[in-house]
Amino acid sequence: MAPAWRCSVKTPAYLIPSPLGDIAVRIEDDALTGLFFVGQKYFPSLAIAHEADPRVMSPLARKVAEEIAEYFTGARETFSVPIHLRGTAFQRRVWKELLAIPFGELVSYGDITERVGLPMSAARAVGGAVGRNPVSIMVPCHRVVGASGSLTGYAGGIDRKRALLSLEGAGFERGAHHSVQQAFAF
């Protein structure tokens, strides 16, 4: 059973379907502030104001739903919706680096640590910030892997991370793009 979420008029949240499970979309001040698989780790407490019905969704929520659907069909590699990342200055620095990771490419937590100008001893803190990314998929934390290339940590679950990377042709099946149905069987 889904958790009981709370939502205010000021912070509308919408539920959109995806091949990997329902996704909650949070819109604030004409920007996307949250994109989470329902039930994922660190999922914020919010209510679903509207399901994916274009008649009741805000224009921005409709755009998010459209771009996510295009991503899952392989028709979209980048996103154009405005995103406002809410977190600490450190987290925002890390999340900004995630935005620079190209579609289908992998980087390690150590790479991100270096890119934000920190010593390797900070890699665990960087991993913590990556794990608390509030905008899954569009801020591509799923493209971050362990130093050995191993699939480690993803708030939405390792199976979803593997499916997203397979869809992008990255990771274990580098260069081969697959449909979500091929990448992830329920």
Active site residues: 141
Centre a 10 Å sphere on the Cβ of residue 10 and count the other Cβ atoms it contains: 7
Q: For the stretch 123-147, what's the b/e string if a residue is b when 16 or more beta carbons lie within 10 angstroms of its beta carbon?
A: beebbebbbbbbbbbbbbbbbbbee
CA 140, distance to chain mean position in Å, is 6
Residues 44, 63 contacting (CB under 8 angstroms): no
Residues 149, 162 contacting (CB under 8 angstroms): no
Residues 108, 146 contacting (CB under 8 angstroms): yes
123-131 vs 89-99: helix crossing angle, rounded to 10 = 80
Residue with the two structure tokens 């990377």: 165
